[in-house]
Structure 1
């Protein structure tokens, strides 16, 4: 397995993994993923085994400390340096789960974030995923100010300083 930057030709496999991991209300659309590939190439990483995508991680590097719902409607542009690395999506193919690919993707994006001198990495997740992120060094900062998909989300953060 190798972790590389995303390519537009990855889109069909990305969407298949997205739909397998998220409800229809939670999942990003094809248009949203096209925009993310175009705007966030530096912070959109893909785990590959040959031509097969095993998983991916994507999010913008911005001034905001936490994800805001409007960021899902219009993808922000990455800051060159500083700010906070947010994670919109971490998703692993159902066929590749329980192989630590999600943790490896988090580590790879953290390396990118540290090289750009980000202050922290942050994401929102459902309660059932909090323990996974805590095992990866993130701290639960409580309920997020989000109504995405009508669910309760939690802010998880990892300081990088």
Structure 2
């Protein structure tokens, strides 16, 4: 059984391992970035838990900007109390738990938090290979992102809340 709860400091080693398994070294967030996210995003950093530990996570700030900027990967903005846009900096599921709908559950849980805080949209940047997953979860591709993160081509996706 999966439960989704706010991330805790004790979850950090599992979160970092899942991030490294899901992203290239250039794409993955640093331990310092994740410590900063834990400190600044207590209500929008969620983990999927099993009886044996963390199976996946989602994290992102709620801000005035509609889309992620590269600076946000290193310097986490604090959440607005209400309103604005819910961004996703990272969504990752441990390899042993992929294909079980956990990523979709995490997206839905963060969307619920965002709606409760009166956010208008949820958006993220994605590699081309993952765009169909996000489209199945109600996101629409907007355009190619101006991001130069990790030297990759990213696509902006948005979901109305």
TM-score by length of structure 1 reads 0.98
How far is 1:81 from its partner? 0.3
Cα deviation, residue 41, structure 1 = 1.0
1:49-60 correspondence runs (5 A): 49-60=50-61
Match of 2:5 in 1: 4
Name the SS for the 1:3 alignment partner.
strand
CA distance in 2, matches of 1:149, 1:87: 17
- Determine helix, strand or coil for the equivalent of 2:43: helix
- For residue 51 of structure 1, report the CA deviation from its aligned partner: 4.0
Give the C-alpha shift of residue 72 in structure 1: 1.1
Distance in structure 2 (CA, Å) of the matches to 1:95 and 1:73? 28
Aligned to 1:23: 24
Partner of 1:116: 117
Correspondence list, 1:1-161, <5 A: 1-160=2-161
Q: State the 1:145 CA deviation.
A: 1.0
Q: Count the aligned residue pairs.
A: 160
Give distance in 1, aligned partners of 2:13 and 2:34: 10
What SS class does the counterpart of residue 12 from structure 1 fall into?
A: helix
Deviations 1:21-78 (A, max 9, x none): 0000000011100000000011000000124100000000000000000111210000
Aligned partner of residue 81 in structure 1, secondary structure = coil
Following the alignment from structure 1 to structure 2, what is the Cα–Cα distance between the partners of residues 95 and 72? 26
Secondary structure at 2:26's aligned position in 1? coil
Bigger shift: residues 92-101 or 47-56? 47-56
Flag as ranges the 4+ runs of structure 1 deviating above 3 A: none
Q: How far apart, CA to CA, are the structure 2 residues paired with 1:46 and 1:71?
A: 20
RMSD over equivalenced CA pairs, Å: 0.6
